[in-house]
Structure 1
Amino acid sequence: MSEARTEEQRAALIEAGRLLFARPCEFFYASQRIDQLPPVTGPELAFCGRSNVGKSSLVNALTGRKALARVSHTPGRTKQLNFFDLGGRLTLVDMPGYGYAQASKSVKADWQGLMFDFLRGRPTLRRVLLLLDARIETKAGDLAAMELLNDAAVAFQIVLTKADDAKPYWLRKRQEEAEALARKHTAGHPLVIATSSETGLGIPELRAEIAALAAPG
């Protein structure tokens, strides 16, 4: 949320986010191919990031559901687009992870192709949350994902995950780096939010950002 907003405005946005994610959220569709996608209906928000960056954990933290999205300790397990209906106001899309070192080249190519085709072909896709691990440096795959999103003309917002496990000085460095990377892309959102699915850090703020993208309800 912008620093220019007043405390009253920020409080109202936080409450809107809380109310949105208090609604039921249910998995309703999975697709491994672009021709298997569900029909376009209301606004969509997608989660994108490296394998094991914590996408599923973040979805669970946002919705307050411990097992809504499957959390795997084996990188590369999510190989499909998973769709979740958030109270009829927003569809959350958990995208396949990228950058898993032990995945074959053909599998990596399939994942990238599926992501790009999805991004270009969903007119109701409001934004992609690009997740970066707060504990480690930005990888080549992360930079490639930013270029892919930029080329697809899809707005993206960087979200740092696992911030509870990063030293304060390192987290500040990662935040500044992420903000600089966002500014280099016309599709990049200027606000970077640091989160922790374990402690709840940044979850209310991220919910507030997402609530602004949802259909009226």
Structure 2
Amino acid sequence: MSMNGTGFSALTEQEQAAATEAGRLLFAGPCDFFHGAQALDQLPPPGLPEIAFAGRSNVGKSSLVNAMTGRRSLARASSHPGRTQQLNFFDLGGRLVLVDMPGYGFARAAKAVKEDWQGLMFSYLRGRPTLSRVMLLLDARVEIKTNDREAMELLDRAAVVFQCVLTKCDAIGQRQLEKKQAEVAALVAGHAAAFPETLSTSSESGLGIETLRATLAMLATPAG
């Protein structure tokens, strides 16, 4: 049964168990960087389904990719915002491609560089036939920024399905997390391209990593 249009929480208990195991197996396999692109004409040929990770600089994109794959340095995590300056492509077991996108909102980046990043992001999002979903990362500890809202509007215009993923959820209490989840749910309800289910994660504690893996496994090319 295909579940690639269904949120994890909407699955039956048996389906959730199957999806969780599929996610474990998928991410237990090889995951290798194979391409970096700083311009549209440098993109690799379309092939496998692609899942792009987007978010503000220092939201934890690289750390989340590393946590999902169980590798400490697959994606380059840094305490310096704006370090990722290109689209980085990772082949996940020959079934799915993970794309680490440049962070947005890095105030100290030169204006011309920021404009180049934004132009590349929109061109990639709008014209990539194999792009299955964008995982839009939001820091659970801080308020939703103007550039987060602008990113959602850009994804609406590009007509690309995006799913919000809260990061660093271990750093706040359960009541704060529930409040943030409700805030994001209300926000995405107003966006045509938004997937209705928001995921809550922590690269440090492992919260939500199994669910995120399962969600991506439902979007991957079937095994075998």
TM-score scaled by structure 2? 0.95
Name the SS of the counterpart of 2:222 in structure 1: coil
Name the SS of the counterpart of 1:179 in structure 2: helix
Matched, 1:66 2:68: no
Deviation at 1:162, TM superposition (A): 0.4
Give the partner amino acid of 1:206.
L
Which residues of structure 2 form unaligned runs of 5+? 1-6
Matched, 1:182 2:198: no
Corresponding residue number in structure 1 for 2:4:
none
Which residues of structure 1 form unaligned runs of 5+? none
Instruction: Please give the alpha-carbon distance, in whole angstroms, between the structure 1 residues aligned to 2:200 and 2:120.
Output: 28
Pairwise CA RMSD of aligned residues?
Answer: 0.9
Q: 1:144 aligns with which of 147, 150, 155?
A: 150
Name the SS of the counterpart of 1:131 in structure 2: strand
Matched, 1:207 2:213: yes
Runs of 4+ in 1 over 4 A off after TM superposition: none
Q: 2:118 aligns with which of 112, 115, 122?
A: 112
Name the SS of the counterpart of 1:45 in structure 2: strand
Residues 145-193 of structure 1 deviation map (CA, whole Å, 9 limit, x = unaligned): 0000110000000000000001222211111111111111111011101
Corresponding residue number in structure 2 for 1:55:
61
Identity among equivalent positions (%) equals 64
Matched, 1:192 2:198: yes
| Structure-to-structure mapping, 1:8-157, within 5 angstroms | 8-157=14-163
Instruction: Please give the alpha-carbon distance, in whole angstroms, between the structure 2 residues aligned to 1:70 and 1:20.
Output: 21
Residues 38-82 of structure 1 deviation map (CA, whole Å, 9 limit, x = unaligned): 111110000000000000000001111111001111001111000
2:133–2:163 CA contact under 8 A, matched in 1 = yes
Task: Figure out how many residues of one structure are paired with residues of the other and give that number.
Answer: 217
